[in-house]
Amino acid sequence: MRRSHARSRVKSSSSSKSDMDPVKFQIRSGNRASSSSLYTLTKSNSKHAKSTSLLLTVFSIAVVLGFLFVCYSILFSGGNRKGSLRYSVVIDGGSTGTRIHVFGYRIESGKPVFEFRGGNYASLKLHSGLSAYSDDPDGASLSLTELVEFAKGKIPKGMWKETEVRLMATAGMRLLELSVQEKILQVTRRVLKSSGFMFRDEWASVISGSDEGVYAWVVANFALGSLGGDPLKTTGIVELGGASAQVTFVSSEPMPPEFSRTISFGNVSYNLYSHSFLHFGQNAAHEKLWGSLVSKDQNSAVESTRQGIFTDPCAPKGYNLDTNTQKQHLSGFLAEESRFSASLQAGGNYSECRSAALTILQEGNEKCSYQHCSIGSTFTPKLQGRFLATENFFYTSKFFGLGEKSWLSHMISAGERFCGEDWSKLRVKDPSLDEEDLLRYCFSSAYIVSLLHDTLGVPLDDDERVRFANQAGDNIPLDWALGAFILQTAAEISQLTGGSSNLHWFYALFGNDSNTLRYLIGIPILITVLVYLVSKWRKPQLKTIYDLEKGRYIVTRIR
């Protein structure tokens, strides 16, 4: 009985212990594996929670880094990492030839970086101009195709589809009827669409003379480092092309709206006077002179010496001025309107040539409806600041070997010698020059002096006021096509960044010349890996058992 009661107490005590300590109970009853399983299950749940937390952390970091990478890809798409180039092509459809320009540039810190030298710039010019194909528009495709092939040779094939190509025709095309212009443009569009470059129909057009002047002003001031700075410290441009002349500069005078242009570069706005004087280019003005000589126009620039006989003062003595030769030089409406019944003779008189040039420049001056007109009946404000004289100003000055000092006054003496020289001697001195080109230098020297000094009021000995040039700054060509490229590219980049500095901080941090993005991606990944490795090394796996003999728990390290 006592033993039975004792067993009952043991059972009761055991039952009580079972309620208080289930682990000890299971070990006592010999279910060690069960105890171990119970403990291991508890630790596994804890480890699983920690692993899940670590995975969520790594996943969150990956999502953030992925977002940053997407932003970077959007803003800097097109293989625009530092060391790589973007490309652009501009085709200048001039009056005497068609020139293609291939530009390479970078975008750094949200701003375009231009370098017009080395592998970043190339150009090629072919004769004749697009306007020469007025009777055969399809003929324009041959020279244009050759120019496109030249550009392809300068741009990596993988970049063709990302490279914009634009064609801008100028004064030669502006002289044609709109229907003829459109036929020639359709041919150019067909060629450019199949070029492999990025192209839209509206990217082939005839630009205004005002645009041409503005673009020339932009590249000049970019080259001189004044673009984006004080408007009063900028430099004006006077261009003398073949069919037109352009005058563009910052003016403080009130201007009629049709002559005023406002452009922005960076955070600076410029109010410009810009106008293109169509028919007042060097070749067009010379043709006007010839047309007046052989016509019966009573207002002609040069009067006849006697009935039916006219003298061309701008032709060197000894030059054979027969009417058939003159008819070949005349173009378009001038050839149609002229009556070739007169006899011509070469005068070789510089002073009279200069007077004839002034008559051409002042034609229509009496019809001026503005406060001041210098050329024809067109408003022209007083010139302000310094100027660069480009194109035929430069070519004529270099032909005569003029230096920059007092070049305008020296142009007079050089012109007097050339015009008064016998034609046969001039041919011997310059046998390589085309006859028509050589003939023009007498008129050109007189026309330049008449335009700048007699018409626009530039002093003859003011070396600082006007300089002739075809390059400026770091030997950057003063070609209006470069200005068009600069202005359009800057506008596109500005539009990409929201037209303001709102995203400039992003470019400063993540731009091509910054390592910030690499740090933001690399450092978190490195830290995450290190934390994971350290945690695995510093926190070994443990197992807890109950020692029945010693009556306590024992923690042991598995590995």
- Distance from C-alpha of 507 to C-alpha of 414, rounded to nearest angstrom: 55
Domain shared by 157 and 226, yes or no: no
Burial class (CB in 10 A: 0-12, 13-18, 19+), 548: exposed
Per residue in 272-324, pLDDT (tens digit) is 999 999 999 999 999 999 888 876 444 555 555 445 677 899 999 999 876 44
**pLDDT confidence of residue 69:** 60
Domain shared by 222 and 232, yes or no: yes
- Distance from C-alpha of 366 to C-alpha of 359, rounded to nearest angstrom: 12
Query: Could you tell me if residue 466 is inside a domain?
Result: yes
The pLDDT of residue 488 is above 90 = yes
**pLDDT confidence of residue 258:** 94
Helices (H), 338-475: 350-361, 392-399, 407-420, 423-429, 435-449
Residue 132 makes CB contacts below 8 A (sequence gap 6+) with: 172
**pLDDT confidence of residue 484:** 97
- Split at pLDDT 50, 70, 90, the class of 85 is confident
Mean pLDDT over 75-99 rounds to: 75
Q: Name the pairing type of β-strands 244-250 and 235-240.
A: antiparallel
Q: Which of 478, 511, 542 is the last residue of a domain?
A: 478
Query: Could you tell me if residue 65 is inside a domain?
Result: no
Query: Could you tell me if residue 27 is inside a domain?
Result: no
**pLDDT confidence of residue 72:** 55
**pLDDT confidence of residue 429:** 93
**pLDDT confidence of residue 80:** 40
More confident residue, 411 or 505: 411
**pLDDT confidence of residue 67:** 62
Domain shared by 195 and 342, yes or no: no
Domain shared by 543 and 513, yes or no: yes
Whose CA is closest to 229, among 179, 205, 265?
265
Domain shared by 214 and 337, yes or no: yes
Using the CB atoms, write b or e for 278-311: b if 16+ within 10 Å: bbbbbbbbbbbbbbbbbbeeeebbbeeeeeeebb
153-159 own/partner pairs: CB under 8 Å, 24+ apart: 154/102, 154/122, 155/87, 155/89, 155/102, 159/79, 159/85, 159/86, 159/87
- Distance from C-alpha of 426 to C-alpha of 272, rounded to nearest angstrom: 42
Domain shared by 191 and 222, yes or no: no
Domain shared by 289 and 426, yes or no: yes
Q: How many CA atoms lie within 13 A of 96 on its CB side?
A: 12
Q: How many domains does the chain have?
A: 3
Q: Residues 388, 104, 201, CA angle at the centre, nearest 5°?
A: 90
Q: For residue 466, count other CB atoms closer than 10 A to its CB.
A: 22
Query: Could you tell me if residue 334 is inside a domain?
Result: yes
Domain shared by 432 and 535, yes or no: no
**pLDDT confidence of residue 301:** 58
Q: Which residues are annotated as a binding site?
A: 242-246
What is the Cα gyration radius of the chain?
41
The pLDDT of residue 5 is above 50 = no
- Distance from C-alpha of 349 to C-alpha of 353, rounded to nearest angstrom: 6
Whose CA is closest to 156, among 104, 193, 208?
104
- Distance from C-alpha of 166 to C-alpha of 89, rounded to nearest angstrom: 6
The pLDDT of residue 73 is above 90 = no
Q: With contact defined as beta carbons under 8 Å apart, do 341 and 322 qualify?
A: no
Q: Give strand ranges (E) for 24-97.
A: 86-93
More confident residue, 19 or 180: 180
Number of H helices, E strands in the chain: 18, 19
How large a percentage of the chain has pLDDT more than 90? 58
Q: With contact defined as beta carbons under 8 Å apart, do 493 and 90 qualify?
A: no
Helices (H), 160-227: 171-174, 178-193, 209-224
Q: Name the pairing type of β-strands 204-206 and 164-169.
A: parallel
What CATH code is carried by the domain that includes residue 197? 3.30.420.40
Mean pLDDT over 525-542 rounds to: 66
Domain shared by 341 and 419, yes or no: yes
Catalogue the active-site residues.
212
The pLDDT of residue 26 is above 90 = no
The pLDDT of residue 543 is above 60 = yes
Q: Which of 171, 191, 207 is the last residue of a domain?
A: 207
Average pLDDT, the chain: 81
Mean pLDDT over 125-129 rounds to: 92
Query: Could you tell me if residue 153 is inside a domain?
Result: yes
Please name every residue paired with 237 in a beta bridge, in sequence order, or none if there are none: 248, 388
Query: Could you tell me if residue 32 is inside a domain?
Result: no
The pLDDT of residue 77 is above 80 = no
Per residue in 410-469, pLDDT (tens digit) is 999 999 999 999 999 999 999 999 998 999 999 999 999 999 999 999 999 888 899 999
The pLDDT of residue 18 is above 60 = no
Q: Which of 179, 207, 235 is the last residue of a domain?
A: 207
- Distance from C-alpha of 241 to C-alpha of 464, rounded to nearest angstrom: 23
- Split at pLDDT 50, 70, 90, the class of 55 is low
Domain that holds residue 523: 502-558
Query: Could you tell me if residue 62 is inside a domain?
Result: no
- Distance from C-alpha of 326 to C-alpha of 136, rounded to nearest angstrom: 23
* C-alpha of 391 from chain center: 20
- Split at pLDDT 50, 70, 90, the class of 134 is very high
Q: Residues 36, 40, 43, CA angle at the centre, nearest 5°?
A: 145
The pLDDT of residue 347 is above 70 = yes
Domain shared by 431 and 291, yes or no: yes
469: DSSP letter: -
Query: Could you tell me if residue 123 is inside a domain?
Result: yes
Domain shared by 221 and 254, yes or no: yes
pTM, rounded to two decimals: 0.73
Per residue in 240-254, pLDDT (tens digit) is 999 999 999 999 999
**pLDDT confidence of residue 291:** 84
Domain shared by 319 and 415, yes or no: yes
Per residue in 358-410, pLDDT (tens digit) is 999 999 999 999 988 999 999 999 999 999 999 999 999 999 999 988 999 99
Mean pLDDT over 486-494 rounds to: 89
Residue that has been written with the tokens 């105890």 in this structure: 35
Q: Which residues are annotated as a binding site for ATP?
A: 242-246
Q: For residue 147, count other CB atoms closer than 10 A to its CB.
A: 25
Q: Prior bond to 84 cis, omega within 30?
A: no
Q: Both tokens of residue 454?
A: 């007699």
**pLDDT confidence of residue 60:** 65
